Amino acid sequence: MTSRVEALSDCAPKETVADAAYSPRTFDDIFILHHRSVYRTAYALVRDGGLAEDVVQEVFLRLYRNLDDAPEDELLRAWLLRVTLNVARNTLRSRSRANVREEAFAKTHAEDGKADSPECELERQREIRAAREALAHIREPMRSCLWLKQQGMSYREIAHALSINEGSVGSFVARGRKEFLRVYGKIGGRKG
């Protein structure tokens, strides 16, 4: 060691010198060490500062939940960046689906110039009531899965939100749709 390095190591507390031999393993240390690279990676994909912060928050939340199962120190950065890429892509996908739904809604209502008539508005209100009533007749968890899927959530997000097995979500959505159509047809026939 050079005299400068020895002087610095003599001045440093003993635990700091000892800690230099291994990488940090506490969540706070990992966060401080890797936050910048995770943010930069997220921002490179999503190109929005606020959205990149959301991605970073999700990545570190996943790390916090799985800290004991996270890879060892030399692989941790690669793991964090892989999770960042996945979360950012999922975020972009869900935003894209939401944008498509919003554009379709706007286009539908822009073309409906005649929807301002009282008769059209009354009919629309009847359809909404019938749909809500039909939805109320669907049992859980099919109703929640169907509702969340209509909101644009992925099967993984639905499974996480409802604390159910991801493999069951598709089945619940399909059965929920079938049940909704059956009940909605009865309600529509009864009211029509």
107 lies in the same domain as 121 = no
Q: 122 in helix, strand or coil? A: helix
* CA–CA dist 53, 46 (Å, integer): 10
24: confidence class by pLDDT, cuts 50, 70, 90: low
* Last residue of one domain, picked from the residues 72, 92, 111: 111
pLDDT digits 0-9 by tens, 42-61: 999 999 999 999 999 999 99
Mean pLDDT value of segment 134-163: 87
Task: Give DSSP secondary structure letters for 133-190.
Answer: HHHHTSPTTHHHHHHHHHTT--HHHHHHHHT--HHHHHHHHHHHHHHHHHHHHHHHHH
Q: Is the pTM of this model over 0.85?
A: no
The enclosing domain of 45 has a CATH number of 1.10.1740.10
Q: What is the pLDDT of residue 4?
A: 42
Q: Which of 77, 111, 145 is the last residue of a domain?
A: 111
Q: Name the DSSP letter for residue 72.
A: P
Average pLDDT of the chain, as a whole number: 81
Cα separation of 65 and 25, whole Å?
14
pLDDT of residue 10: 47
141 cis-preceded (ω within 30 degrees of 0): yes
Of 84, 111, 138, the residue at which a domain comes to its end is 111
